Amino acid sequence: MSVTVDRPVVSPLPFSGLRHNWTRDEIGALLALPLPELIFQAQVAHRTHFDPTAVQISTLLSIKTGGCPEDCGYCPQSASAETAVSASKLMDIEPVLQAATRARDAGATRFCMGAAWRSPKDRDLERVVEMVEGVKSLGLETCVTLGMLRPEQARRLKTAGLDYYNHNLDTSPEFYGDIISTRTYQDRLDTLAAVRDAGISVCCGGIIGMGEGQEDRAGLLETLANLDPHPESVPINALVKVRGTRLEDAAPLDPIDFVRMIAVARITMPASFVRLSAGRESLSDEAQALCFLAGANSVFYGDTLLTTRNPAVERDHELFEKLGLTRVA
């Protein structure tokens, strides 16, 4: 006895070109595809633009931790969260450069620095500028995430040689207010515009597992995929539940849902690096292998991501060897 199953209809995709006119319905249909078909489409997109066995390695350092005035429901660095993370001052330059040297020697090609600010004061920005210049002198790409930027601050970072600025959208415009109330979605888009206008590459993605629905996941990808140009790096984060944050009791995330987000990010932004970011510690080797098959080609490397755990470097070495993956030089 045969069984007929209705499948979402998705038009063939022009992998040779980039689109900036994705609809939410199209993205929702991709997210709903049978997994073998979704992985196939993601593989075609990936192989059109990248070596499917190569992975770009980034390392992230918190240069100023805790005490952030924002109320992001997922973040242990928020001043409103009841966590063990205490506020610290901006790091001195020498320890930052030592950390960058260790990251480079371990195989990282990009060094990212994060500060828990709503937006940087100009005097603090000048110290970050010195860090950027120092890290660049080590032969690494540079990335910072400092909160909201004014256009002149973005231009100052560009002059210092900054390669990437990270500023995530987190979720869909509709669900955003359930997670954050202290800055608007438009605030985030304005910072992205200032960064892009300054000539800095954009690193922008989001978080899943915060209680959002499938429509919100499609909405996040719709917004990202319709930025013109696409973000050069797209970090996909799985919520790391931290006791004392508003989202500490969020429902567990199905790893296959995470894989689907990676695959649709790859299909809709085929020339971007798609990065496995926060939450990778909770993924099995098998789940990570599916993510790489779905088009992920970048990871954060190192035992800590700002204030949360990340897979040990030795585990990553073993996984890359097992899967036959090579690091981008």
Retrieve residue 6's tokens. Answer: 């209705």
- As a whole number of angstroms, the distance between CA 280 and CA 15 comes to 28
Predicted pLDDT at 307: 47
Q: Per mean pLDDT, which range of 47-56, 74-83, 100-109, 171-180 is the poorest?
A: 74-83
Catalytic residues: 68, 72, 75, 112, 143, 203, 275
Mean of pLDDT over the chain: 88
- Cα–Cα distance, 59 to 99 (Å, whole number): 9
Cα separation, 136 vs 126, whole angstroms: 15
Whole-angstrom Cα distance, residue 311 to residue 276?
Answer: 11
Q: Is residue 93 within 8 Å of 134, Cβ to Cβ?
A: yes
Confidence band (pLDDT; 50, 70, 90) for 133?
very high
C-alpha distances in Å from residue 299, one per residue of 105, 106, 208, 231, 245: 16, 13, 17, 16, 25
The per-residue pLDDT for 81 is 56
317 pLDDT tier (thresholds 50, 70, 90): confident
Assess contact for 206 and 180: CB atoms under 8 A.
no
Q: What is the pLDDT of residues 172-196, one digit of tens each?
A: 999 999 999 999 999 999 999 999 9
**Per-range mean pLDDT, top range of 61-65, 161-165, 298-302, 313-317:** 161-165
User: Average pLDDT for residues 33-62, to the nearest whole number?
Assistant: 95
Burial of 57 (C-beta count, 10 Å sphere; 0-12/13-18/19+): buried
